[in-house]
């Protein structure tokens, strides 16, 4: 009896996957019908930093401009909540889901559940594990920056400023997230060719200002001879600057700080001489996200990665560009 029930459950599951609840087969990407107005989901990771707030504002503004309905959720820093948020969007019958996957692996079930329900997913700003899900097969595309290149550009700027010699503390982003993995790779691969550039400590500050401050404080105590800090985002860099000042060190003189994003506070820190540079990671996804949705609805073949190009901010342009920063 037990065996029979297990077999039936398995058979039903396989059939559901095979047919897809929304009509698409397991191999097929769900289609999007052309409509005047859409009901779309946007599953945000958290809202504890200016980058996330700017991204959400950009998505909301673009949806409002087009007269589309945006079902917005904030996972408050929990991958499990973000999976539940996507499931709730599926239950509400949205036409398409924009997902900013907090971490690469835990959001795979959400991508697969949407596919199974016949709802196309576009990944925004962060990617998922490429060995588990693929653009064009499981989700439409990934729109975002080249994080490896961002890390490389931060390393290049630091290497040049330090004449190829530095003891570096690395503040990593959220563990298991694509920007943390890739910004680390880009940076570390670049400095391999510069033996004087040495990462003496590396720890996650979860992309958050206060966590970055706390981690920097601990790592500076363990490595008082550190001469540089590479933070995976500006919020942690600002936290690190506070930690340096609390330790009686002069950021920008005793310890050189470099990071990624381009927030207003980071540009101000550059103007104040406390930060060397920040590689841009542009959060204003609204126009490109909805333009990609329209292209998909028209039946266009979407490239697997819609690449955002990033600028670079240092003392040569920070004062001129700060008025437009977020
Ligand atoms: O995914 C992009 C990163 O996420 C940004 O650099 C960071 O500030 C945000 O939390």
The pLDDT assigned to 28 comes to: 85
Question: For residues 208 and 238, what is the distance between their CA atoms, to the nearest angstrom?
Answer: 10
Domains within the chain, CATH numbers bracketed = 29-145+283-308 (3.40.50.2300), 147-281 (3.40.50.2300)
Q: What share of the chain is helix, strand, coil (3-state, %, to 5)?
A: 45, 20, 35
Does residue 139 have its Cβ closer than 6 Å to ligand 1?
no
Phi first, then psi: give them for residue 277, nearest 5 degrees.
-170, 165
Angle between helices 264-271 and 234-246 (to 10 degrees): 50
Phi first, then psi: give them for residue 320, nearest 5 degrees.
-70, -30
Phi-psi region of 224 (alpha: psi -120 to 50; beta: other; left: phi over 0): alpha
CA of 60 to the centre of ligand 1 (A): 18
The pLDDT assigned to 27 comes to: 65
Our mutation pick for probing the ligand 1 site, out of 148, 283, 313, counting the most ligand atoms within 8 A of Cβ, is 283
Phi first, then psi: give them for residue 6, nearest 5 degrees.
-60, -45
Question: For residues 58 and 35, what is the distance between their CA atoms, to the nearest angstrom?
Answer: 22
Of 175, 104, 183, 172, which Cα lies nearest the Cα of 142?
Answer: 104
* 69 sits in which H/E element: strand 69-74
Task: Give residue-wise pLDDT tens across range 221-240.
Answer: 999 999 999 999 999 999 99
Does residue 260 have its Cβ closer than 6 Å to ligand 1?
yes
Does residue 174 have its Cβ closer than 6 Å to ligand 1?
no
Structure tokens at 208: 């958050």
Q: How confident is the model at residue 1 (pLDDT cuts 50, 70, 90)?
A: very low
Segment 34-48 shows an average pLDDT of 97
The mean predicted confidence, pLDDT, of the chain is 93
Point out the least confidently predicted range of 3-7, 88-92, 174-178, 311-315: 3-7
Task: Give residue-wise pLDDT tens across range 273-288.
Answer: 999 999 999 999 999 9
Question: For residues 88 and 67, what is the distance between their CA atoms, to the nearest angstrom?
Answer: 22
CA of 284 to the centre of ligand 1 (A): 12
The pLDDT assigned to 153 comes to: 98
4 HSE (CA, 13 A, CB side)? 1
Angle between helices 178-191 and 147-161 (to 10 degrees): 40
């Amino acid at each position: 009896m037990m065996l029979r029930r297990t077999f039936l459950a398995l058979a039903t599951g396989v059939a559901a996957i095979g047919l897809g609840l929304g009509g698409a087969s397991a191999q097929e990407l769900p289609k999007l019908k052309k409509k005047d107005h859409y009901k779309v989901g946007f599953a945000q990771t958290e809202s504890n930093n200016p980058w996330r707030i700017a991204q959400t504002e950009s998505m909301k503004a673009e949806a409002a401009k087009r007269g589309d309905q945006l079902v917005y959720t904030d996972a408050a820093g929990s991958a499990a909540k973000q999976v539940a948020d996507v499931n709730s969007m599926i239950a509400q019958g949205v036409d398409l889901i924009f997902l900013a996957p907090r971490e690469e692996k835990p959001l795979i079930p959400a991508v697969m559940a949407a596919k199974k329900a016949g709802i196309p997913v576009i990944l925004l700003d962060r990617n998922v594990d490429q060995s588990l899900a693929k653009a064009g097969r499981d989700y439409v595309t990934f729109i975002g920056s080249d994080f490896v290149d961002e890390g490389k550009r931060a390393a290049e700027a630091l290497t040049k400023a330090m004449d190829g010699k530095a003891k570096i503390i690395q503040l990593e982003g959220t563990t298991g997230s694509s920007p943390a993995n890739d910004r680390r790779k880009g940076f570390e691969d670049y400095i391999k060719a510069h033996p004087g550039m040495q990462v003496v400590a590396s720890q996650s500050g979860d992309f958050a200002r206060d966590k970055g401050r706390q981690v920097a404080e601990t790592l500076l105590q363990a490595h008082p001879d550190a001469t540089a800090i590479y933070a995976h985002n500006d919020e942690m860099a600002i936290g690190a600057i506070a930690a340096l000042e609390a330790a009686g060190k002069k950021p920008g003189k005793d310890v050189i700080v470099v990071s990624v994003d381009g927030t207003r506070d980071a540009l101000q820190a550059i103007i104040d001489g406390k930060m060397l540079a920040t590689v841009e990671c542009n959060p204003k996804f609204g126009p490109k996200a909805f333009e990609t949705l329209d292209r998909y609805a028209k039946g266009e073949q979407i490239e697997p990665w819609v690449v955002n190009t990033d600028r670079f901010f240092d003392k040569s342009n920070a004062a001129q560009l700060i008025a437009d920063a977020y």
